[in-house]
Amino acid sequence: MLELIKTAAGVIRSLRIYYGDRQRAAAMDKVYGQFVNSGDLVFDIGAHVGDRVASLRRLGARVVAVEPQRAIVAALKLLYGRNPAVVIEPVAVGRRRGLTNLMINPVNPTVSTASEAFVAAARNAPGWNTQRWTKAVRVEVTTLDLLIKKHGIPVFIKIDVEGFEAEVLGGLSRPVKALSFEFTTIQRRVAAACIERCVELGYARFNAVIGESQVFSHDDWVSGAAIAAWLKGLPQSANSGDVYATL
C-alpha cells in the first residue's frame, strides 16, 4: 500500500511539474514546430505523463506515445485515451523484441529505467544519489522498426528513456527525417554511442538543448563529431538535456 501511495504521489508531482508552466510549453512548441507540421506522425518514446504529447498535439501532429510504466499509462489514458490522434503503446523499446526488467522509482517515476548501468551510474553521482529504484517489473519490449511497421513512418522520434537510448536506436534500421534523444552527464558514453549510431544512419546535422531550457545551444547545426566534442566538454553540472539530429 505504501508503494502505491508513493507511486500515486510521484505521478501527481510529475503532472504538476510538466503541465504547470505555460512559458515552457510555448518554448517546447517552438522547438518541435521546427520538425513537425499538422497531420504529421510522431513517436514519443518514453512519453511519461505526456507533456510532449500535449505539445505535439497543439502542433496538430498524430502521436504514438510509448510508455511501459503501468501507473503512467493509466495517467496517459485519462489524458489522451479518447483522442483519436493519440495511440498509447504500453511497452518499452529496445534493440530487439522480447522482455526486460523495468526498474521503478516510485517517488520520481520520470527516471524509471530499463538500464541497470544507469542506476549504477546514479548511485554515487551528485544530484542523483538520493534517487531510489525500489521495484522491478517485467515489461514487453518492441523496436522502432516494429513500431514503424505497425504505425507508419514518423517525421520525428523523441527518445527519453533514462540511459536506454542507445538500445532504442539500435532497433532502428533506417532514418526518419529527424529525432532527439536525452543525454546525461553521468552517462556520456551512452550519448556518444547514440551520436555514432545516428551518423551510421545518415544523420549529418546536430544540435542540443540543455535541461528543460528549450533553447538550442548552437546557433547553427553542427556535425556529429562537433556535437560529440561539445558533449564531452560539458561540465558535470549540466546534468542532462537532449541532442537533436536531422538528415
List own/partner pairs for 17-21 with CB under 8 A and 24 or more apart.
18/48, 18/49, 18/51, 19/49, 19/51, 19/54
pLDDT value of position 212: 87
Residue 9 lies in a domain: yes
Q: How far apart are CA 129 and CA 134, in angstroms?
A: 14
10-residue stretch averages of pLDDT, the chain, 247 residues long: 62 70 88 97 96 97 97 94 97 98 92 96 90 94 98 98 98 98 97 98 98 93 98 96 98
Terminal Cα distance for the chain, rounded: 49
- Count of domains for the chain: 1
> Which positions ≥6 away from 239 have C-beta within 8 Å?
127, 184, 185, 211
pLDDT value of position 6: 64
Residue 156: give its domain's CATH number: 3.40.50
Residue 206 lies in a domain: no
* Nearest C-alpha neighbor of 195 from the set 231, 236, 142, 152: 231
5, with CB counted inside 10 A (0-12, 13-18, 19+), is exposed
pLDDT value of position 20: 72
Q: How far apart are CA 235 and CA 198, in angstroms?
A: 24
Instruction: List C-alpha distances in Å: 150 to 13, 20, 169.
Output: 33, 33, 17
Alpha-carbon dihedral 82, 49, 7, 147, rounded to 10 degrees: 80
Q: How far apart are CA 91 and CA 105, in angstroms?
A: 17
Q: How far apart are CA 240 and CA 211, in angstroms?
A: 5
Kindly give the interhelix angle for 70-80 and 51-58, rounded to the nearest 10 degrees.
30
Whose cell is 507540421? That residue is 37
Residue 235 lies in a domain: no
Domain containing 114: what range?
Answer: 2-197
Residue 146 lies in a domain: yes
What's this model's pTM, rounded to 2 decimal places?
0.94
pLDDT value of position 155: 98
Looking at residue 50, the DSSP 8-state letter turns out to be: S
Residue 111 lies in a domain: yes
Q: How far apart are CA 231 and CA 243, in angstroms?
A: 9
Residue 74 lies in a domain: yes
pLDDT value of position 190: 98
Residue 86 lies in a domain: yes
Task: Give the strand pairing for 92-93 and 62-66.
Answer: unpaired
* Nearest C-alpha neighbor of 95 from the set 122, 115, 118, 109: 115
Residue 23 lies in a domain: yes
